[in-house]
Amino acid sequence: MQKIVEVNNLCVRFGDFWAVKNVSFCVNCGEIFGFLGANGAGKTTTIRVICGLINPTSGEVVVDSEHFIRGKEDVIKAKVGYMSQRFTLYNDLSIKENLDFAATTHNVSSKDLQRNKTELFELIQLNRKESTLVSELPSGIKQQVALVAALIHQPKLVVLDEPTAGVSPASRASFWELIRRLTDIGKTVFVTTHYMDEAENCGRIALMRAGELIAMGTVPELKQKTFTGQMYNVTPRTPLADEECAQLAERCVLFEPCGIHYHVIFKDERDLAMFDSGTTVEKIQPSLEDVFIQLVEGRSA
């Protein structure tokens, strides 16, 4: 499998704080690679190194065979389209002005700009005039235009840092449809999200916790590696008291409150009999949310 990103023993220190600690992973060409972790886990910091925006303290980053070299960050920047977590577009500029600006920063010729815009507008099926001010766009469309800006120089790798934060559920679904279409046209997507339903769409996932990479694999691999034993969805007639939960948790490998339900893996399946007849118990497959809670938030560990 051809690799587009290789991160080897990456460390990033801010003062005496290590934001990224000895992280190594690869991203394969053409995949959707999900980079997950709680707030402050080091995702954006890793991304900033991959995009050539900050220097690593130590370790090596290779993007499309180009090694990160201080002073030659532009070589990497040309290969990467980056949609940042906080800033996407200038609200007080039109769609056209934003895209012209993005093209200028990447030295895209006006001929290439026209061609790329036509292709990319078709991809997102933009139905707004280019003269529309970005401030007038709904958040879902704004993110799509931001994606066009990130792709305006035809990068091979697209890095999307929480692209759907603050976007409606319907628009989130449309954005993921676009992400899939990007891989159809040969792009590789590196994406962070706090939405586990979205992360289920990734080919492979890396999980970060407090600057360290703690797990990596396909969604089924992560589910299988994280849990041994059958998971049950347990729904008591009335919510369980804290004390009752604590007692049950003692007897389980996993006992995780999930709204009005509990996700449970028993140490001994005979304990199924301890629930009263008003409790519904059904076999389920673990969700990525279960994996995340178990590994990243360290609960029930």
CB-nearer residue toward Mg ion: 44 or 193: 44
* Range 229-256 burial, b when 16+ CB lie within 10 A, else e: eebbebbbeeebeeeeeeebbeebbbbb
Q: Judged by CB under 6 A, which stretch of 33-41, 152-160, 266-274, 278-286 contacts ligand ATP?
A: 33-41
Using rule CB under 5 A, residue 226 touches Mg ion: no
Per-residue HEC secondary structure of 243-273 comes to: HHHHHHHHCEEEEEEECCEEEEEECCHHHHH
Using rule CB under 5 A, residue 44 touches Mg ion: yes
Strand partners, 205: 34, 217
Q: Could you say which of ligand ATP, Mg ion, none residue 116 binds, taking C-beta under 5 to 8 angstroms by partner kind?
A: none
Shortest distance, position 134 Cβ to ligand ATP, whole Å: 23
CB-nearer residue toward ligand ATP: 100 or 198: 198
300 contacts 249 by C-beta, under 8 angstroms: yes
Helices (H), 152-259: 169-184, 196-199, 219-226, 242-250
> Site residues for ligand ATP, window 36-95 (CB under 6 A)?
37, 39-45, 85
Shortest distance, position 163 Cβ to ligand ATP, whole Å: 12
207 contacts 300 by C-beta, under 8 angstroms: no
- The size of the interface with Mg ion (CB under 5 A), counted in residues, is 3
Using rule CB under 6 A, residue 138 touches ligand ATP: no
Find tokens 């159809």 and name the residue.
184
Q: Which of 210, 180, 158 is nearest to 27 (CA)?
A: 158
Give the residue closest to Mg ion by C-beta.
44
**Interface pick for ligand ATP out of 19, 50, 51, 291 (rule CB under 6 A):** 19
Shortest distance, position 210 Cβ to ligand ATP, whole Å: 9
Neighbouring C-beta atoms of residue 150, cutoff 10 Å: 22
Using rule CB under 5 A, residue 144 touches Mg ion: no
C-alpha span between 81 and 179 (Å, rounded) = 13
Binding residues for Mg ion (CB under 5 A)? 43-44, 85
Q: Which residues bind ligand ATP (CB under 6 A)?
A: 14, 17, 19, 37, 39-45, 85
